[in-house]
Amino acid sequence: MSKNLYLLRGLPGSGKSTFALKLANAIGAFNFEADHFHEDADGNYVWRPENVANAHALCQRAVRHIMSSSGEDIVVSNTSTTEKELKPYLALAKEWGYTVTSLIVENRHGNKSIHGVPEETMEAMQRRFSVKLREV
């Protein structure tokens, strides 16, 4: 049985979360993103810069848990603009024998981030966005 990890990457507002949910539902996979860990007890999205590292750690922990316990397919949707941000998921996939597929979701529809990410932040993320087309 093949174990798959799908990494969806893109700028805020590109549609990563929407596509991730559709993909996960279509293939019966788990769906995680750091944004899930920015919610308060009532399920409201509350982003605070001091919570970013913890949200990513919790997302990675959730992925590790599924990989180690069930071996089911997983979809992870984060901006992941650099190789450094992908590294923890790639390491988990290697450790647990998952095949990785990385997909970049482009904002071709003109949506804005529902989280109100400032334009200067979006531009900085776009400048640092790196793509590695193959493993060498």
Return the domain boundaries, the chain: 4-128
Quick one: pLDDT at residue 45?
A: 85
CATH classification number, 4-128, choose in 2.60.120.10, 3.90.550.10, 3.40.50.300, 3.40.250.10: 3.40.50.300
DSSP track, 17-53: HHHHHHHHHHHT-EEE-GGGGGB-TTS-B---GGGHH
**pLDDT digit string, tens, across residues 30-54:** 999 999 998 888 988 888 888 899 9
pTM: 0.92
